Amino acid sequence: MKQPTDEERLLSVEMNRRDFLKRLGYASAVALAAGGAGLALYDSKGPAISRVQKVLTGLGDYTLRGISSGPGKMAIVRGTDRALMFARGVKALGGMESFIQKGDRVLIKVNAAFATPASLGATTHPEVLAAVAGLCVKAGAAQVLVTDNPINNPDSCFEISGLAGAARAAGARIIAPRAALFAPVSLPEGKLLQNWPVMAGAFQGVTKVMVVSPVKDHHRAGASMTLKNYYGFLGGRRNVFHQDINGIITELAQLLKPTLCVLDGTVSMIANGPTGGSLSDLKETGTMVVSTDPVAADAVGLELLGRSLADVPYILMAGKAGAGQADYRQLNPVLLNTKA
Protein backbone atom coordinates (compact mmCIF):
# COMPACT_ATOMS: atom_id res chain seq x y z
CA MET A 1 0.00 0.00 0.00
CA LYS A 2 1.27 3.39 -0.95
CA GLN A 3 2.33 5.58 1.99
CA PRO A 4 1.04 9.19 1.94
CA THR A 5 3.63 11.86 1.35
CA ASP A 6 4.41 14.55 3.94
CA GLU A 7 2.43 17.03 1.92
CA GLU A 8 -0.58 14.71 1.77
CA ARG A 9 -0.36 14.14 5.51
CA LEU A 10 -0.25 17.85 6.16
CA LEU A 11 -3.18 18.51 3.91
CA SER A 12 -5.14 15.72 5.62
CA VAL A 13 -4.88 17.43 8.98
CA GLU A 14 -7.86 19.55 9.78
CA MET A 15 -7.33 22.24 12.28
CA ASN A 16 -10.31 23.52 14.15
CA ARG A 17 -10.58 26.81 15.97
CA ARG A 18 -9.89 25.20 19.36
CA ASP A 19 -6.60 23.69 18.09
CA PHE A 20 -5.60 26.99 16.63
CA LEU A 21 -6.30 28.93 19.82
CA LYS A 22 -4.51 26.33 21.95
CA ARG A 23 -1.43 26.51 19.77
CA LEU A 24 -1.54 30.27 19.73
CA GLY A 25 -1.79 30.21 23.52
CA TYR A 26 1.22 27.89 23.87
CA ALA A 27 3.32 30.00 21.50
CA SER A 28 2.39 33.22 23.30
CA ALA A 29 3.20 31.68 26.69
CA VAL A 30 6.63 30.54 25.45
CA ALA A 31 7.34 33.97 23.91
CA LEU A 32 6.23 35.75 27.08
CA ALA A 33 8.27 33.43 29.30
CA ALA A 34 11.39 33.94 27.15
CA GLY A 35 10.91 37.71 27.05
CA GLY A 36 10.16 37.88 30.78
CA ALA A 37 13.18 35.78 31.65
CA GLY A 38 15.37 38.02 29.51
CA LEU A 39 13.94 41.11 31.18
CA ALA A 40 14.38 39.64 34.66
CA LEU A 41 17.98 38.63 33.97
CA TYR A 42 18.95 41.89 32.21
CA ASP A 43 21.73 43.71 34.07
CA SER A 44 21.93 47.26 32.80
CA LYS A 45 25.16 47.96 34.72
CA GLY A 46 27.03 44.97 33.38
CA PRO A 47 29.04 42.58 35.47
CA ALA A 48 31.75 43.77 37.83
CA ILE A 49 35.17 42.98 36.45
CA SER A 50 36.39 40.97 39.38
CA ARG A 51 33.34 38.73 39.33
CA VAL A 52 33.63 38.03 35.65
CA GLN A 53 37.28 37.60 34.89
CA LYS A 54 40.26 36.73 36.93
CA VAL A 55 42.18 39.98 37.37
CA LEU A 56 45.92 39.65 36.80
CA THR A 57 48.28 40.90 39.47
CA GLY A 58 51.31 41.37 37.24
CA LEU A 59 52.95 40.59 33.93
CA GLY A 60 55.43 38.08 35.26
CA ASP A 61 58.95 37.49 36.49
CA TYR A 62 61.29 36.71 33.60
CA THR A 63 64.57 37.07 35.43
CA LEU A 64 67.06 34.24 35.18
CA ARG A 65 67.45 31.87 38.08
CA GLY A 66 70.28 33.03 40.26
CA ILE A 67 69.73 36.67 39.35
CA SER A 68 66.29 37.08 40.90
CA SER A 69 67.69 36.32 44.35
CA GLY A 70 71.01 38.18 44.11
CA PRO A 71 72.31 41.48 42.77
CA GLY A 72 71.76 42.09 39.09
CA LYS A 73 74.31 42.27 36.31
CA MET A 74 75.31 45.37 34.42
CA ALA A 75 77.63 46.41 31.63
CA ILE A 76 78.17 50.07 30.73
CA VAL A 77 79.53 50.33 27.21
CA ARG A 78 80.97 53.47 25.66
CA GLY A 79 80.99 53.96 21.90
CA THR A 80 78.98 55.01 18.87
CA ASP A 81 78.18 51.74 17.08
CA ARG A 82 74.99 50.49 18.70
CA ALA A 83 75.20 46.91 17.40
CA LEU A 84 78.79 46.55 18.53
CA MET A 85 78.06 48.14 21.91
CA PHE A 86 75.21 45.74 22.57
CA ALA A 87 77.22 42.72 21.42
CA ARG A 88 80.12 43.66 23.69
CA GLY A 89 77.82 44.45 26.61
CA VAL A 90 75.85 41.22 26.50
CA LYS A 91 79.04 39.21 26.00
CA ALA A 92 80.44 40.75 29.19
CA LEU A 93 77.36 39.52 31.04
CA GLY A 94 77.89 35.92 29.90
CA GLY A 95 76.75 36.08 26.29
CA MET A 96 73.26 36.04 24.82
CA GLU A 97 73.17 32.25 25.25
CA SER A 98 73.11 32.73 29.01
CA PHE A 99 69.87 34.74 28.67
CA ILE A 100 68.18 33.05 25.72
CA GLN A 101 67.90 29.29 25.40
CA LYS A 102 66.83 27.31 22.36
CA GLY A 103 63.08 27.42 21.92
CA ASP A 104 62.56 30.57 23.96
CA ARG A 105 59.77 32.88 22.90
CA VAL A 106 61.13 36.38 23.43
CA LEU A 107 59.12 39.58 23.81
CA ILE A 108 61.00 42.82 23.19
CA LYS A 109 59.35 45.96 24.54
CA VAL A 110 60.44 49.00 22.58
CA ASN A 111 59.51 52.65 22.83
CA ALA A 112 57.52 53.31 19.67
CA ALA A 113 55.49 56.12 21.17
CA PHE A 114 55.78 58.53 18.28
CA ALA A 115 55.49 58.41 14.51
CA THR A 116 58.81 60.18 14.02
CA PRO A 117 61.99 59.06 12.28
CA ALA A 118 64.76 57.53 14.35
CA SER A 119 67.04 60.52 13.74
CA LEU A 120 64.89 62.63 16.08
CA GLY A 121 65.62 60.28 18.98
CA ALA A 122 62.07 60.07 20.35
CA THR A 123 61.82 56.28 19.97
CA THR A 124 63.97 53.19 20.43
CA HIS A 125 66.61 53.27 17.72
CA PRO A 126 66.02 50.56 15.10
CA GLU A 127 69.73 49.64 15.12
CA VAL A 128 69.48 48.56 18.76
CA LEU A 129 66.31 46.58 18.10
CA ALA A 130 67.98 44.87 15.15
CA ALA A 131 71.00 44.01 17.29
CA VAL A 132 68.96 42.64 20.21
CA ALA A 133 66.48 40.70 18.05
CA GLY A 134 69.26 39.38 15.84
CA LEU A 135 71.23 37.98 18.78
CA CYS A 136 68.06 36.45 20.24
CA VAL A 137 67.46 34.61 16.98
CA LYS A 138 71.11 33.58 16.81
CA ALA A 139 70.92 32.22 20.34
CA GLY A 140 68.10 29.91 19.28
CA ALA A 141 64.93 31.78 20.17
CA ALA A 142 61.97 30.07 18.54
CA GLN A 143 60.17 33.37 18.14
CA VAL A 144 61.00 37.03 18.73
CA LEU A 145 58.11 39.42 19.21
CA VAL A 146 58.29 43.21 19.37
CA THR A 147 55.57 45.29 20.99
CA ASP A 148 54.40 48.65 22.31
CA ASN A 149 51.06 50.44 22.65
CA PRO A 150 51.69 53.89 21.20
CA ILE A 151 47.93 54.77 21.17
CA ASN A 152 48.43 57.19 18.29
CA ASN A 153 48.28 55.10 15.12
CA PRO A 154 50.55 52.17 16.11
CA ASP A 155 51.22 51.03 12.54
CA SER A 156 52.45 54.48 11.60
CA CYS A 157 54.62 54.67 14.74
CA PHE A 158 56.31 51.33 14.05
CA GLU A 159 56.85 52.09 10.36
CA ILE A 160 58.06 55.69 10.51
CA SER A 161 60.35 55.06 13.49
CA GLY A 162 62.02 52.29 11.47
CA LEU A 163 61.23 49.70 14.13
CA ALA A 164 58.95 47.65 11.87
CA GLY A 165 61.69 47.42 9.24
CA ALA A 166 64.31 46.48 11.82
CA ALA A 167 62.04 43.80 13.26
CA ARG A 168 61.33 42.32 9.84
CA ALA A 169 65.00 42.30 8.91
CA ALA A 170 65.91 40.50 12.13
CA GLY A 171 63.16 37.90 11.74
CA ALA A 172 61.03 39.31 14.54
CA ARG A 173 57.29 39.95 14.47
CA ILE A 174 55.54 43.14 15.57
CA ILE A 175 52.60 42.72 17.93
CA ALA A 176 50.46 45.81 17.47
CA PRO A 177 47.90 46.57 20.17
CA ARG A 178 44.41 45.16 19.64
CA ALA A 179 41.45 44.64 21.94
CA ALA A 180 42.02 40.95 22.57
CA LEU A 181 45.50 41.62 24.03
CA PHE A 182 44.23 43.72 26.93
CA ALA A 183 43.21 42.31 30.29
CA PRO A 184 42.50 44.01 33.60
CA VAL A 185 45.45 44.09 35.97
CA SER A 186 45.44 45.02 39.65
CA LEU A 187 48.70 45.45 41.46
CA PRO A 188 48.30 44.05 44.99
CA GLU A 189 48.21 47.04 47.32
CA GLY A 190 48.59 49.30 44.31
CA LYS A 191 46.85 52.65 44.53
CA LEU A 192 46.65 53.42 40.82
CA LEU A 193 46.81 50.10 38.99
CA GLN A 194 43.44 48.65 39.92
CA ASN A 195 41.44 46.85 37.25
CA TRP A 196 43.34 48.76 34.62
CA PRO A 197 43.67 47.39 31.07
CA VAL A 198 47.21 46.20 30.40
CA MET A 199 48.52 44.53 27.26
CA ALA A 200 48.92 41.18 29.01
CA GLY A 201 48.01 39.22 25.90
CA ALA A 202 51.36 40.08 24.34
CA PHE A 203 52.97 37.89 27.03
CA GLN A 204 51.05 34.76 25.97
CA GLY A 205 53.57 31.93 25.81
CA VAL A 206 56.50 34.31 26.31
CA THR A 207 59.48 32.92 28.21
CA LYS A 208 61.89 35.90 28.12
CA VAL A 209 61.32 39.65 28.11
CA MET A 210 63.74 42.34 26.98
CA VAL A 211 63.13 46.07 27.40
CA VAL A 212 64.94 48.26 24.89
CA SER A 213 64.66 51.99 25.55
CA PRO A 214 66.17 55.33 24.57
CA VAL A 215 67.42 57.91 27.09
CA LYS A 216 65.18 60.96 27.01
CA ASP A 217 64.18 64.04 28.90
CA HIS A 218 60.49 63.98 29.85
CA HIS A 219 58.53 67.13 30.61
CA ARG A 220 56.38 65.49 33.28
CA ALA A 221 58.44 62.59 34.62
CA GLY A 222 61.86 64.24 34.40
CA ALA A 223 63.25 61.36 32.38
CA SER A 224 61.93 58.62 30.11
CA MET A 225 64.08 55.50 30.05
CA THR A 226 63.47 51.83 30.95
CA LEU A 227 60.83 52.15 33.66
CA LYS A 228 58.89 54.87 31.86
CA ASN A 229 58.93 52.57 28.82
CA TYR A 230 56.66 50.18 30.79
CA TYR A 231 53.98 52.88 30.42
CA GLY A 232 53.49 51.52 26.92
CA PHE A 233 51.91 48.37 28.32
CA LEU A 234 48.96 50.40 29.59
CA GLY A 235 45.71 50.75 27.69
CA GLY A 236 42.82 53.09 28.33
CA ARG A 237 43.01 56.82 28.90
CA ARG A 238 46.35 56.42 30.59
CA ASN A 239 47.12 60.13 30.56
CA VAL A 240 45.06 60.38 33.76
CA PHE A 241 48.12 58.93 35.50
CA HIS A 242 50.22 61.94 34.51
CA GLN A 243 48.91 63.60 37.68
CA ASP A 244 50.90 61.06 39.71
CA ILE A 245 53.62 60.16 37.27
CA ASN A 246 56.08 58.99 39.91
CA GLY A 247 53.43 56.82 41.55
CA ILE A 248 52.34 55.13 38.33
CA ILE A 249 55.90 54.41 37.16
CA THR A 250 56.71 52.94 40.57
CA GLU A 251 53.70 50.65 40.33
CA LEU A 252 54.52 49.70 36.74
CA ALA A 253 58.03 48.79 37.86
CA GLN A 254 56.49 46.17 40.14
CA LEU A 255 54.38 44.61 37.39
CA LEU A 256 57.22 43.12 35.41
CA LYS A 257 60.67 41.72 36.05
CA PRO A 258 62.39 41.59 32.65
CA THR A 259 65.16 39.24 31.63
CA LEU A 260 67.38 41.98 30.25
CA CYS A 261 67.22 45.76 29.79
CA VAL A 262 69.05 47.70 27.12
CA LEU A 263 69.21 51.44 27.69
CA ASP A 264 70.53 53.22 24.63
CA GLY A 265 72.24 56.49 25.48
CA THR A 266 74.39 56.57 22.37
CA VAL A 267 72.49 59.76 21.60
CA SER A 268 70.26 61.14 24.36
CA MET A 269 67.41 63.63 24.20
CA ILE A 270 68.52 66.05 26.85
CA ALA A 271 65.80 68.70 26.44
CA ASN A 272 62.22 69.20 25.27
CA GLY A 273 61.31 65.56 25.79
CA PRO A 274 59.62 63.29 25.30
CA THR A 275 58.92 64.47 21.75
CA GLY A 276 61.94 66.66 21.05
CA GLY A 277 61.77 67.86 17.46
CA SER A 278 65.02 69.72 17.04
CA LEU A 279 68.30 67.94 16.47
CA SER A 280 69.67 70.41 19.03
CA ASP A 281 67.58 68.60 21.68
CA LEU A 282 69.91 65.61 21.19
CA LYS A 283 73.39 65.09 22.57
CA GLU A 284 75.92 62.41 21.77
CA THR A 285 76.36 60.75 25.14
CA GLY A 286 78.04 57.63 23.73
CA THR A 287 76.80 55.12 26.29
CA MET A 288 74.75 51.94 26.31
CA VAL A 289 73.66 50.16 29.48
CA VAL A 290 72.97 46.42 29.34
CA SER A 291 71.55 45.24 32.65
CA THR A 292 69.25 42.76 34.31
CA ASP A 293 68.13 45.53 36.68
CA PRO A 294 65.84 48.19 35.17
CA VAL A 295 66.15 50.54 38.14
CA ALA A 296 69.94 50.46 38.08
CA ALA A 297 69.94 50.97 34.30
CA ASP A 298 67.82 54.10 34.69
CA ALA A 299 70.09 55.39 37.44
CA VAL A 300 72.98 55.32 34.94
CA GLY A 301 70.77 56.99 32.32
CA LEU A 302 70.08 59.86 34.71
CA GLU A 303 73.76 60.71 34.75
CA LEU A 304 73.73 60.92 30.95
CA LEU A 305 70.97 63.51 31.25
CA GLY A 306 72.95 65.39 33.88
CA ARG A 307 70.33 64.74 36.54
CA SER A 308 70.36 63.30 40.01
CA LEU A 309 68.09 60.81 41.76
CA ALA A 310 66.48 63.79 43.54
CA ASP A 311 65.41 65.20 40.17
CA VAL A 312 63.56 62.03 39.14
CA PRO A 313 61.90 60.59 42.24
CA TYR A 314 60.43 57.43 40.69
CA ILE A 315 63.82 55.72 40.47
CA LEU A 316 64.35 55.75 44.22
CA MET A 317 60.68 54.92 44.76
CA ALA A 318 60.92 51.90 42.44
CA GLY A 319 64.08 50.80 44.24
CA LYS A 320 62.35 50.99 47.60
CA ALA A 321 59.41 49.03 46.17
CA GLY A 322 61.78 46.17 45.34
CA ALA A 323 61.97 46.63 41.59
CA GLY A 324 65.74 47.02 41.57
CA GLN A 325 68.80 48.80 42.89
CA ALA A 326 68.88 52.61 42.57
CA ASP A 327 72.56 52.64 43.53
CA TYR A 328 73.84 51.03 40.35
CA ARG A 329 77.40 50.80 41.64
CA GLN A 330 76.19 48.01 43.93
CA LEU A 331 75.98 45.86 40.78
CA ASN A 332 79.73 46.27 40.15
CA PRO A 333 79.13 47.20 36.51
CA VAL A 334 81.53 46.03 33.85
CA LEU A 335 82.91 49.10 32.07
CA LEU A 336 83.73 48.70 28.38
CA ASN A 337 84.79 50.97 25.56
CA THR A 338 84.21 49.83 21.99
CA LYS A 339 86.43 52.60 20.69
CA ALA A 340 89.44 51.29 22.56
Partner 1 sequence: MAHRKAKVGAVQKRTGYGIIAVLGLITIWLLFQQTRFNPAVLVAMRPPLLQGRAQAVSGQTLVATAALLPEVPGFKPLAPTESYGPENLSDKIDGKDELYLPAGFKEMSCRKFNLDTAADKTFVEVFIYDMGSAANAFAVFSGQRRPGSPSIPLTANAYATGNALFFTQGRYYLEIVADRASKTLPGSLEAYATALLAKIPSEGGQANPALLFPKEGLAQDSVRLLATDVFSMEGLNNVLTGEYHLKSGNATAFIARRDAPDQAQAEARRYLDFLAANGYQKVQTPAAAGDISVLALDNSFEVVLVQGRIMAGVHDATSVDVALDLAAKLRPALKERP
Q: How far is the CB of 29 from partner 1 (least distance, A)?
A: 18
Q: Residue type for 58, please?
A: G
Q: Pattern of binders to partner 1 over 292-331, x per CB under 8 A?
A: ----------------------------------------
User: Of 262 and 269, which CB lies nearer to partner 1 in the complex structure?
Assistant: 269
Task: Show the CA angle centred on residue 272, arms to residues 266 and 277, nearest 5°.
Answer: 75
Q: Residue type for 163, please?
A: L
Q: Pattern of binders to partner 1 over 209-228, x per CB under 8 A?
A: ---------xxxx--x----
Examine residue 28 and tell whether it contacts partner 1 (CB under 8 A).
no
* Site size for partner 1 (CB under 8 A): 55
Residues numbered 162 to 191 that lie near partner 1 (CB under 8 A) are 179-180, 182-184
One of 131, 144, 163, 245 touching partner 1 (CB under 8 A)? 245
Examine residue 57 and tell whether it contacts partner 1 (CB under 8 A).
no
User: Of 47 and 70, which CB lies nearer to partner 1 in the complex structure?
Assistant: 47
CB 179 within 8 A of CB 185: no
Q: Pattern of binders to partner 1 over 254-293, x per CB under 8 A?
A: -----------------xxxxx-xxxxx------------
Examine residue 192 and tell whether it contacts partner 1 (CB under 8 A).
no
Examine residue 14 and tell whether it contacts partner 1 (CB under 8 A).
yes
Q: Residue type for 128, please?
A: V
The span from the CA of 164 to the CA of 130, in Å, is 10
Of 208, 220, 209, whose CA–CA distance to 274 is shortest? 220
One of 142, 151, 316, 321 touching partner 1 (CB under 8 A)? 151
| Site for partner 1, rule CB under 8 A | 5-6, 9-10, 13-16, 19, 46-47, 49, 52-53, 113-117, 119-120, 151-153, 156, 160, 179-180, 182-184, 195-197, 218-221, 224, 235-237, 239, 242, 245, 271-275, 277-281
